[in-house]
Copies of this chain bind each other. A is one copy, B any other.
Amino acid sequence: MPYPEEAEGFQVDSPNTYTDFKKRSFKLKPFGDYDVDIKIEACGVCGSDVHTISGGWGSQKFPLCVGHEIIGRAIRVGPKVTLIKEGQRVGVGAQSYSCGDCKQCKNGNENYCQVLMIDTYGSEWPDTGIISQGGYSSHVRTHEHWVFPIPESLQSNLVAPMLCAGLTAYSPLVRNGAGPGKKVGIVGLGGIGHFGVMFAKALGAETWAISRSRAKEADARKLGADGYIATAEEGWEKSHLYSFDIVINCANSSKGFDLEKYLSMMDIHGRWISVGLPEEEGQVIKAQNLISNGVLIGASHIGNRQETLEMLQLAADKGLKGWVEELQIGSEGLKEAMERMKKGDVHYRFTMTGYDKEFA
């Protein structure tokens, strides 16, 4: 089989036509010594995909093929690749390159590389004019550092969403000390949040799901939640004052969000980490709101290679899997995915599958 120099995939041309996916061929970046070519088998549908192509996060480089929760086979590895073997089943998440040489990259913060950060889609490869294209496509070409071997026991369609949504929850959990003796809250039970509950529990923390209504309580408990808070109920914060060590805020919208009440539940120097990126305006914060418990507010950007490997191993060890509805890759399936994501009609992740049928 000849190596691909092009991939075939589904692109969107503008925010006005974001459910109209056109099948096209596009050039891959030039093959580098550390690159891995991956034939894709499955790809999760991330909230980022919808925000990006529907214009919610501002202007983007169209035409664009999104998708960054990729599982596939390594069909070719560059001459200097040591981390991945040809034929291995692998994953790629939201990031596809970091410089490898800056202070951040050397500190295990390559997910915050400030020199050359290439997203799996929508970033320009220097000196090529090529815009990276994501996983609603036949192939991706990725630097080995950002390609992850998938443990044998994990099913492609169920593990795919871990590559972005899972890692986005996992990294801030471990970086902020989630584990035995810690009380962890997960706000918003969507794609990221359902992994948040699963991983917080798997890491040994006392885990609380925090959602608007009780509609998702049964699911949350199946995912491993020890407790459940419904913020539509009067006085919901009262019995948790100054008690949470870590809250991962996965909420996808900041409308009607009473941050002060949430923060009142944090223990001294607790960490309130946002991983959702709502499209609305932010919230007014005064030092006065943070001083009674010295809470720290932050945000988190996916995770590093080491954390990705640990997360996948944890999932394999504990038999964790995403709650996934499969859709056939193609214009129809992607249109359905985007429309239902926009409505929040997903429990809790779509994975596009059937790549063999669509891409010869």
Interface residues of A (CB under 8 A from B): 103-104, 107, 109, 112, 114, 175, 241-242, 249, 267-269, 271, 274-278, 281-301
Contact B298 A268 (CB under 8 A): no
Q: Which residues of B contact A283 (CB under 8 A)?
A: 284-286
Q: Which residues of B contact A112 (CB under 8 A)?
A: 268, 292-294
What is the distance, in angstroms, from A219's C-beta to the closest C-beta of chain B?
25
5 contacts between A and B (CB under 8 A): A249-B287, A277-B286, A285-B297, A295-B298, A297-B298
CB-CB under 8 A for A298 and B288, given A104-B242, A109-B268: no
Q: Which residues of B contact A277 (CB under 8 A)?
A: 286-288, 291
Q: Which residues of B contact A294 (CB under 8 A)?
A: 109, 112, 298-301
Assembly CA distance A249 to B285 (angstroms): 14
The 8 A-B residue pairs with the shortest CB-CB distance, nearest first, are A282-B286, A290-B299, A274-B287, A296-B298, A291-B299, A296-B296, A287-B299, A109-B268
CB-CB under 8 A for A284 and B281, given A112-B293, A294-B301: yes
Assembly CA distance A249 to B282 (angstroms): 21
Assembly CA distance A142 to B275 (angstroms): 45
What is the distance, in angstroms, from A210's C-beta to the closest C-beta of chain B?
17
Assembly CA distance A275 to B290 (angstroms): 10
Contact B287 A276 (CB under 8 A): yes
Contact A282 B271 (CB under 8 A): no
Contact B104 A268 (CB under 8 A): yes
Q: Which of B109, B275, B281, B287 contacts A278 (CB 8 A)?
A: B287
Q: Which residues of B contact A286 (CB under 8 A)?
A: 277-278, 281-283
Q: Which of B175, B281, B290, B301 contacts A298 (CB 8 A)?
A: B290
Q: Which of B103, B271, B297, B301 contacts A292 (CB 8 A)?
A: B301
Contact B271 A296 (CB under 8 A): yes
What is the distance, in angstroms, from A172's C-beta to the closest C-beta of chain B?
8
Contact A290 B269 (CB under 8 A): no
What is the distance, in angstroms, from A345's C-beta to the closest C-beta of chain B?
24
What is the distance, in angstroms, from A118's C-beta to the closest C-beta of chain B?
15
Contact A282 B289 (CB under 8 A): yes
What is the distance, in angstroms, from A168's C-beta to the closest C-beta of chain B?
11
Task: Output the nearest chain B residue to A286 by Cβ-Cβ distance.
Answer: B282
CB-CB under 8 A for A242 and B296, given A284-B283, A285-B282, A287-B282: no
